[in-house]
């Protein structure tokens, strides 16, 4: 019964706790791993960074528990598809809604009803609160990719709640 | 697949993050809500308190999602049994191993293999690390009880890893 929402409750508490140390609201609407946070204060940037790091380590740990056959993925696109299906279902009990790529190492994963943004009212007035609810998940994606052998930069953006786009950049080596 | 361990990974990260601000190891082996922490530094007491508060609010939120019929519990003991079965399964995918009471408002809930202590090696040498892995769960129990209309003081103790006892004190009004 309650286990499916446990992660969401805990995530909410984590964000609230980290933000309690820096209550000044920022005005940025993007959050990400090694990406820029527009208009955030130094304390908020640190909180976003902490959340992203926590997500990264959880993503790594989850990645290590993936079934062995997934490690045999040859194509980058297969790995991204796996994140959109299996990882998303494991964490959010739903699949990502769409995955697009330019076939040059850039992937855009779109969730039309991102669970961690659902508790917020729809509309534009809460947009500036969105980054802190995205940082952990950016790290989660980066961590899972890392375990699967892919270095990446993951950022997120929200144009209208609760639609969320995660952009995964995989630098060519 | 991975969703059952997601809570445990996230809890581990939360503890690590809060402890990162106060790395000095304490020597206490008890942790609890409004209980004493033996030998802990001020920073550690604050971290324990923060964890307990987070657990309390998650417990309250979980309590609010319990099926309606549980709110009709008349006997304190029924509520405690409910926590030992349904709440524990929802959070840890297992039932509490035993529940004892003196019928005077004191309950001892024992988990012989507490999941949040399992990653630690068995034995005495890690006992002093145990309190930080118990504070959140003490709060969780106190929060769920609060939603069910029962004020309590919850403490935890570990005599040998990974066995854990949670003591619930319900003051007579």
Q: How does pLDDT run across B14-54, given as a tens digit for each residue?
A: 888 888 765 555 444 444 444 444 456 777 778 889 999 99
Instruction: Report the distance separating Cα B120 and Cα B98, nearest Å.
Output: 22
Question: A7 to chain B nearest CA, in Å?
Answer: 6
Inter-chain residue contact B2 with A57, CB threshold 8 Å: no
Question: Residue B4's pLDDT band (boundaries 50, 70, 90)?
Answer: low
Instruction: Report the distance separating Cα B164 and Cα B162, nearest Å.
Output: 6
Instruction: Give per-residue pLDDT as tens, A31-71.
Output: 444 444 445 677 777 888 999 999 999 999 888 887 756 66
Inter-chain residue contact B6 with A58, CB threshold 8 Å: yes
The three-class DSSP label of residue B68 is helix
Inter-chain residue contact A13 with B87, CB threshold 8 Å: no
Predicted TM-score (pTM) of the model is 0.80
Question: A82 to chain B nearest CA, in Å?
Answer: 13
Inter-chain residue contact B50 with A17, CB threshold 8 Å: yes
Please report residues of B whose CB lies closer than 8 A to that of A58: 6, 9-10, 13
Most confident residue range from A5-9, A129-133, B86-90, B135-139:
B135-139
Question: A36 to chain B nearest CA, in Å?
Answer: 22
* Residues on chain B bordering chain A, Cβ-to-Cβ distance under 8 angstroms: 1-7, 9-11, 13-14, 17, 50, 54, 57-58, 61-62, 65-67, 86-87, 90-91, 93
* Probe site for chain A from B9, B60, B65 (most A CB atoms < 10 A): B9
Scored b (16 or more CB within 10 A) or e, B101-138 reads eeeeeebebbbeebbbbeebeeeeeebbbbbbbbbbbb
What residue spans define the domains of chain A?
41-169
**How many residues appear in chain A?**
173
Based on its alpha-carbon atoms, the radius of gyration of chain B, rounded to whole angstroms, reads 15
Residue B108 is predicted with a pLDDT of: 97
Inter-chain residue contact A9 with B87, CB threshold 8 Å: no
The number of C-beta contacts closer than 8 angstroms across A and B is 82
Inter-chain residue contact A11 with B10, CB threshold 8 Å: yes
Q: Cis (ω within 30 of 0) for the bond into A71? A: no
Question: A160 to chain B nearest CA, in Å?
Answer: 27
Question: A43 to chain B nearest CA, in Å?
Answer: 15
Q: Give the nearest partner residue to A57 out of B13, B90, B91, using CB atoms.
A: B13
- Assigned architecture for domain B41-169: 2-Layer Sandwich (3.30)
Low pLDDT (below 50) residues in chain A: 1-2, 26-38
Q: Could you tell me how far CA B53 lies from the centroid of its own chain?
A: 11
Please report residues of B whose CB lies closer than 8 A to that of A91: 2-3, 6
Residue A68 is predicted with a pLDDT of: 58
Mean pLDDT computed over every residue of chain B: 82
Residue B83 is predicted with a pLDDT of: 92
Q: Give the nearest partner residue to B13 out of A13, A17, A54, using CB atoms.
A: A54
**How many residues appear in chain B?**
173
């Amino acid at each position: 019964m309650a286990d499916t929402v446990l992660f969401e409750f805990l995530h909410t508490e984590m964000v609230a706790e980290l933000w309690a140390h820096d209550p000044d609201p920022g005005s940025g609407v993007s959050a990400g791993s090694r990406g820029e946070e527009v208009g955030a204060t130094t304390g908020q940037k640190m909180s976003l960074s902490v959340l992203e790091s926590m997500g990264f380590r959880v993503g790594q740990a989850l990645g290590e528990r993936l079934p062995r056959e997934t490690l045999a993925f040859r194509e980058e696109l297969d790995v991204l598809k796996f994140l959109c299906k299996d990882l998303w279902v494991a964490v959010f009990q739903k699949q990502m809604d769409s995955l697009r790529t330019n076939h040059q190492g850039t992937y855009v994963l779109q969730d039309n009803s991102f669970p961690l943004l659902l508790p917020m009212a729809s509309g534009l007035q809460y947009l500036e609160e969105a980054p802190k609810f995205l940082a952990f998940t950016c790290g989660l994606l980066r961590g899972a990719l890392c375990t699967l052998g892919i270095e990446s930069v993951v950022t997120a953006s929200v144009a209208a709640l609760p639609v969320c786009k995660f952009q995964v950049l995989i630098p060519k080596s």
